[in-house]
Amino acid sequence: MKITSLSYTVNNNYNVKNKKTVPVKYEANNFALSHKRDKFITFGALPNIKLKKFDIAAEKAKLLKQIDTILQSDTPETDLEDRLTDIIQKSLARARSILKRKKVLLEEIQKVSESKILTKQQKSDRARAIQKEWNLVNKIKIDKNNIVKPNQKQKDENIDFRLINRFRRAISEDNFNLHSVFNDFYKELENIQTIEELNKKYPKIKTPQNPAHIVAKKLESSLTRDFYEKFNDLYDSGQDVLLFKYVDSKLKELIKPIAQKYKLSEVSLYEKTAQSFNKRIIDRFAKAKVEVGFSFIPEQRKNKIAQITDNDIKLLYTDFDDFVISVIKKHYLNAQKLNEIQYTNANQTFNISSIHEPEYKFEKLPEKIKQLMVSSDAIEKAQRDYEHFNVEQFKERLNYFANKEPGNNETIFEGIVAFDTCKFEKGDIDPLIKFLKELDDLSDGKISVEQA
């Protein structure tokens, strides 16, 4: 016999301390308890089995504890910035102190060597003393324990703590329908049209890099030191017109083989990459000019032609804002898995799973948010398992609705009072359960007040 609903606990290990508990079922479609040789065991044949009860209060406390743990990891960015600033200032002060002492020691050794008063032995003794102090100064190191390393990222940095706070508020009010809270929080995604709008409204949702920037980076990576040295000469001589023509001609030279390979218009490819390419060149030049020098730029490149991929071109010729927003909406609002999402526009259709480049990867909805919603689902199911309620639990549920939005409606409130004062006999239970389920649907937004 196939089991489609199962919940049990071995008698020896079962001890319910909280009287306010209700049995809950575990749903398992097409699930069967199997034995050797694929023989099915009927549920009644299992020994020492009794219904397991679900402690709503205990599960609620556990869920709130999980949420509080997540919220404790919320380190404001301003605190992190202040900490970094303080560390840098202390490190610089220590470095200046070391350099200052070394300068004094160098001056002293110079004076000793030039002294006409000191004897040869005295000079030797003084030089050894200075050398000893110099060695001690060299051993002084900045304390690295307080320095934030690049890989020490803020815990749960991709979680929107505004949503977590809403979860906590809902659970504290015995509202375990976190899916509804989630959908309400992200409902404004429907009206967002651009990545810029998305970043402002939901900064924790990470988006892929712009393909124009990626292509520009790959084009620039094929340039050698000679290019930047000539760029520097034109820059220093103030020949702005020649400088622009020089960069422009180089870009056209780089995109020509790419346009031929993908059978694209050189003009359209130029228009899509020129702005990002020019910015990339200027940024790289400025860094070489001011910070690291041109010697850090290779004289030769392994790849003389930029390694542009099919996906680079595909996304470059896609409305990237529409692409990103469309995928985000399907993932967050429609609960579609990222690797199952298909994007379609007027010109092409492709699956997100076909994009393997890390630059274009979307971040999944954080697992901790999913886990919270799954846990709350189990509590909500027990909270609404009216077929197994006792009188006290029915009264608690009626009182819950009386103090929520449904209780503000006079007709509904009268119904709540009527059921609360009934005798809870067999003839009362069925209409009461129907009434409570309608209030659940009303709270979930499935029906209107008039329908309820």
Residue that finishes a domain, picked among 102, 129, 146: 146
Q: Do residues 218 and 268 both lie within one domain? A: yes
Flag whether 156 is in a domain: no
Flag whether 126 is in a domain: yes
Flag whether 154 is in a domain: no
Q: Do residues 227 and 287 both lie within one domain? A: yes
Q: Do residues 222 and 289 both lie within one domain? A: yes
Flag whether 226 is in a domain: yes
Residue 1's alpha-carbon distances to 6, 7, 25, 36, in angstroms, are: 13, 16, 18, 14
Q: Read off the tokens for 414.
A: 């009268």
- Name the domain count of the chain: 4
H or E segment and range at residue 386: none
Burial of 127 from C-beta contacts in 10 A (0-12 / 13-18 / 19+): middle
Q: Please write the tens of the pLDDT for every residue from 86-120.
A: 666 666 677 777 777 788 888 888 888 888 888 88
Flag whether 326 is in a domain: no
Flag whether 334 is in a domain: no
Q: What is the pLDDT of residue 185?
A: 96
Q: Please write the tens of the pLDDT for every residue from 44-82.
A: 444 444 445 678 889 999 999 999 998 887 655 445 555
H or E segment and range at residue 408: none
**Residue 24's closest CA among 38, 12, 4, 7?**
7
Q: Do residues 109 and 22 both lie within one domain? A: no
Q: Do residues 67 and 94 both lie within one domain? A: no
Q: Do residues 66 and 115 both lie within one domain? A: no
Q: Read off the tokens for 321.
A: 């804002």
Q: What is the pLDDT of residue 1?
A: 41
Q: Do residues 62 and 113 both lie within one domain? A: no
Residue that finishes a domain, picked among 34, 52, 72: 72
Flag whether 405 is in a domain: yes
Residue that finishes a domain, picked among 41, 72, 103: 72
Residues of the chain with pLDDT under 70: 1-53, 74-92, 140-157, 302-303, 452
Q: Is the Cβ–Cβ distance between 165 and 71 less than 8 Å?
A: yes
**Residue 360's closest CA among 302, 318, 306?**
318
Q: Do residues 305 and 215 both lie within one domain? A: yes
Q: Do residues 87 and 9 both lie within one domain? A: no
Flag whether 365 is in a domain: no
Q: Is the Cβ–Cβ distance between 189 and 328 less than 8 Å?
A: yes
| Domain of residue 273, residue span | 211-310
Q: Which residues lie across from 49 on neighbouring strands?
A: 10
Q: What is the pLDDT of residue 248?
A: 93
The letter for the amino acid at 275 is Q
Q: Do residues 223 and 288 both lie within one domain? A: yes
56-61-65-71 Cα dihedral, nearest 10 degrees: 90
